Amino acid sequence: MRTYTLSVEINDHKSPAELSLPFSFIILTYNEEEHLPRLLGSIKGLDAPVFVLDSGSTDDTVNIAKNAGAEVLVHPFENHPKQWHHALTSFPVKTPWVICLDADQVVTPELKEKLKTFKDEQHTGVDGIYFNRKNFFKGRWIKYGGYYPFYLLKMFRYSTGYSDLNENMDHRFIVPGKTEIWKDGHI
């Protein structure tokens, strides 16, 4: 079993912590003071590094991220693929896997439990993992019309995954190798 060591901030004191989870979170934000606390709360307790790339928020987003212990960088927004590319190439990620989320997404308790037991060595030969996404409109889950199930490549090996810079309408991540689809839990 591989372990990773990092320093975490606890009650304003830095102390070493043993990190047994082999992934980091990368989150994009812009004026997300309403949504970011919900996402950060949904991943709390996973003891994984959190990196936030902000597009120049004018609300309290950056302070919320920093107060939660995230490392924050600010970069002007051009489009989603370029912003993700900047995030993937600018943070000092030390884990073999990254999970890339938007600030308005939430990790469900079922997905969180699956992540708690995630071991790199159990996914040898796998470059990426698709998560199922639930879309909501005005608080109601959209179950039909091609919106569910809807799988997104959100977790991938940091050394192999990248943002498709040619995809200007939306964004997607690409990995060259084998992928898995996780049907339990949602974002």
Kindly list the structural domains of the chain, giving each domain's residue range(s) and its CATH number in brackets, ordered by start.
Answer: 4-186 (3.90.550.10)
Q: What is the mean pLDDT of residues 148-175?
A: 88
Cβ burial of 96 (10 Å; 0-12, 13-18, 19+) is: middle
Q: What is the mean pLDDT of residues 137-154?
A: 85
Nearest to 4 by CA among 64, 63, 46, 56: 46
Q: pTM of the full predicted structure? A: 0.86
Higher-pLDDT residue of 11, 59: 59
In this structure, the dihedral spanned by the alpha carbons of residues 71, 53, 86 and 19, taken in order and rounded to 10 degrees, is: 40
Joined together, the tokens standing for residue 57 give 């928020």
Give Cβ neighbours of residue 101 (< 8 Å, ≥ 6 apart).
25, 26, 27, 28, 39, 107, 154, 187
Report residue 62: phi and psi, to 5°: -65, -45
The pLDDT value given to residue 56: 98
What does the alpha-carbon distance between residue 83 and residue 52 come to, in Å, rounded to a whole number?
11
Per-residue pLDDT tens over the stretch 72-86: 999 999 999 999 999
What does the alpha-carbon distance between residue 138 and residue 55 come to, in Å, rounded to a whole number?
25
75 residue type, one letter: H
The pLDDT value given to residue 12: 35
The residues pairing with 27 across neighbouring beta strands, listed in sequence order, are 52, 101
Say if residue 108's pLDDT is above 50: yes
Label residue 20 by pLDDT band (50, 70, 90).
low
What does the alpha-carbon distance between residue 2 and residue 28 come to, in Å, rounded to a whole number?
28
Q: How does the average pLDDT of the chain come out, rounded?
A: 87
